[in-house]
Amino acid sequence: MDGDENTQNGDAARGWIPMSGDLSVEAVLDPHETKTLAVQVPPDYDFMFHRITCRSDGPVLLKVPVPAPATSRPLAGQAVRPFPVALDAEYPAHLAALAGETLEEWTHKNLLLTQQARAGDDQAFFDLIGRDPRVVGSDLTVAKVVSWRTELELFAKYLNLKGSRLFPLTRVEEARAKMEAAKKNLRRLGQVHIAFLDQRGKKPLPPPGTVKGLYYAFLCLFADLKQEFQRRVTRDGPEKARRDLLAFVRALKGLEVQPDSFFIYIAWGVQMLDQLRIGEDSPGLTEDSLPNVVGRGSSTPSEIALDLTAQVFEISANTVEALRQSDDVIPWTDPEGAIYALGGRPNFELASFPEVQSVLRDLDP
């Protein structure tokens, strides 16, 4: 679980310091087993979760109750895990994930950049700070700043000095170049943190868990629709099968959804169908477009799920494919505000949901 922590510095109580970090728990569950786990947030932390991931061999339903906040905070100097400890214990893993690297890869690359920076490579130094802002408090940064300020002190007074015919100045241009380079580096020292997180020219992606949830909802829906259609074609013929399947989809739109059920995503997907292009036809699931998704030779359920999910979020099918493979949980809230999530890979069959079973019984009395 990723979140933003507010930690109090035990050395100097100067307010609460926000910092990104991670919390994790591990549990072994048998099929249909229920277990309650407490995520231990240290008493000196406020923690705001903004991403929850779950690795599981099968689907796991999570409910995340949020207790009332504590009424008091520990006094300064009594922190269980003060800010400097959190910087070393938790922050590196978050920074590595931010760079898309393992902690080992991130540490090794930073070591190489440190060696290059100490050898005089300023670009390596700025790359290092962008990757790890803790370097700002290091001896390396102090040495760089002192060096650049010294360049300014030595050459600033000569910036506008002009020589004469009888008193020519030598190497003035070289001195000016050194001073300008020092000024540029001192400005970059503050800008490098913004540049590392600059999103200009990048399209923000939707939450991976939500994309993942809708993809698997469409996959579940159309995999079962395809099987149901083929079954009804064999029994009743193609025309009646088509009419019955469309009536079945319409009935799904009006169902009440249980708050703790993944069916909430399937219901959302069904409601979105009227606004989505099905195959090459106009929006909506109609008698003309139905064969594109359930008929013989039609697209596979996974291809349909990729296409429809990409339309909803206005992203490419390749992006959907990448996001749906993430470990992010599939989140939703009930009308009372309770937080639910599904971890692992949803492998449900549509007919396994009680809501769907009642519709099928009404369709074939």
> Which pLDDT tens digit goes with each residue over 257-282?
888 889 999 999 999 998 998 876 67
Asked if 353 and 252 count as a contact pair (C-beta separation under 8 A), the reply is no
Q: Report percent pLDDT > 70 for the chain.
A: 76
pLDDT digits (tens, 9 = 90+) for 2-38: 555 554 444 434 456 666 666 677 777 777 778 777 7
Closest Cα partner for 291 from 306, 276, 302, 281?
281
Closest Cα partner for 329 from 218, 220, 214, 213?
213
Asked if 227 and 295 count as a contact pair (C-beta separation under 8 A), the reply is no
pLDDT digits (tens, 9 = 90+) for 55-79: 777 788 888 776 665 555 544 444 4
Q: What is the dihedral of CA 172, 174, 177, 181, to 10 degrees?
A: -130
Q: Is the pLDDT of residue 288 over 80?
A: yes
Phi, psi of 50 (to 5 degrees): -125, -5
Amino acid identity of residue 301, one-letter, is P
Span of 36-50, 64-78, 342-356 with lowest mean pLDDT: 64-78
Report the pLDDT averaged over residues 120-138.
89
Rounded CA-CA distance 20/45 in Å is 12
Six-digit token string for 117: 């920076």
User: Each residue of 213-235: b (16+ CB within 10 Å) or e?
Assistant: bbbbbbbbbbbbbbebbeebbee
**pLDDT computed for residue 223 by the predictor:** 93
Rounded CA-CA distance 342/266 in Å is 13
Q: What is the DSSP letter of 218?
A: H
**pLDDT computed for residue 33 by the predictor:** 78
Tokens 């009308």 sit at which residue?
335
Strand, helix or coil for residue 181:
helix
Q: Is the dihedral of CA 35, 36, 39, 42 positive or negative?
A: negative
CB contact set of 141 (below 8 Å; sequence gap of 6+): 125, 129, 135, 189
Rounded CA-CA distance 318/227 in Å is 26
